[in-house]
Amino acid sequence: MAEGAGRQDTPQKSPWKKWIKERKLGIPNIAWATITAIIGVLVAAAYTQITKKSEEEVALEAVAKLSAGQTVENFESMLGGPAQVNKKIGPLREAMWINEIYAVKAITEASGNGVVVGYTVTTRSTTFNPEIPYGDNIGRLGESRFSELPDVASASRVGRHLNGYWFYDEALRAGWATNYETWLLGSGSSGVGGESAGSREAVSTLVDAAIPSNFQSVENSRRVSNARSGLIITTYGSLSDGFDLGDLPQEFDLAPDRVESNKYPAKEQ
């Protein structure tokens, strides 16, 4: 019989167990079992912590899947449950999912089957900066300014109220370049960029330029152009093919209004 035939290799002990044995630390079996169990728990906890997604990461994945043409049920599934706010605006219904880092609005026809004809996403945290999903390299919410857009909007509106709430919105009307959807972009006091440098001065300039509170053709002037460079984009959205910008009620805000913002506070920065 060849040398070593029939001999089975003995399992090798782990290096750290061998290290302890070689140094004759004399740990009793019961203590050894306890130490092993504790180490296992710590390793598992560390792995979970490393692989656990942050609230912002989960939110980024969710909003990236949203689009006009889906149903409210799809939005509920991706956003973790029913909307916190539901209300009627003209012939439409608005549902809003809002928490401390974002707000998502979905518009449906009041007499319809729950199909979303338009939606918006607003960042409420400096750490929540989803990509603006229109065209190439437009930028991110809470970071990019209107002056950085590669395309000029075809319509805009602005509003300022005595309670300090303000907004500035732009729209690019449906066409071949927009995949026949109307694209919406906004900035306002309810978004994370609301207190950004120059924004108050910028919106004052836009109000003084007499841009009305319903969407009208963009005024191409140096004053408006300069003001746009002072406004951070905090909201994006779109309207589905077949739902025109003129179908959007004037009272619809792209982002949460002052009352909603106070009821659901944004994340402390």
Cβ contacts of residue 95 below 8 Å, gap of 6+? Answer: 72, 75, 83, 85, 86, 105, 106, 108
- How much is the mean pLDDT over the chain? 78
- As a whole number, mean pLDDT of residues 176-202 equals 73
Burial of 218 by CB count in 10 Å (0-12 exposed, 13-18 middle, 19+ buried)?
Answer: middle
**Most confident by average pLDDT, 49-63, 75-89, 104-118, 196-210:** 75-89
- For residues 114 and 71, the answer to whether their CB atoms sit within 8 Å is yes
Q: Taking 80 as the threshold, does the pLDDT of residue 189 lie above it?
A: no
More confident residue, 26 or 176: 176
Query: Averaged over 214-229, what is the pLDDT?
Result: 73
pLDDT for 50-94, tens place per residue?
A: 445 788 999 999 999 999 999 999 999 999 999 999 999 988 999
Bridge partners of 116, per DSSP, are 108
pLDDT (0 to 100) of residue 211: 59
pLDDT of the residue at 50: 45
pLDDT at 176 over 70: yes
Q: Is the pLDDT of residue 99 over 90?
A: yes
Q: Average pLDDT in the 158-181 region?
A: 77
CA atoms within 13 A on the CB side of 156: 23
Tens of pLDDT, residues 5-57: 555 555 555 565 555 555 545 556 666 566 666 766 665 555 444 445 788 99
pLDDT of residue 257: 85
Per-residue pLDDT, averaged over 111-129, amounts to 91
Read off the pLDDT of each residue in 198-220 and give the average, rounded to a whole number.
67
pLDDT for 18 equals: 58
More confident residue, 64 or 4: 64
Instruction: Supply the pLDDT for residue 47.
Output: 44
Q: Please, which residues bridge with residue 158 across strands? A: 168
Confidence at residue 51, expressed as pLDDT on a 0 to 100 scale: 46
Q: Is the pLDDT of residue 224 over 60?
A: yes
165 pLDDT higher than 90: no
3-state secondary structure 200-218: HHHHHHHHHCCCCCCCEEC
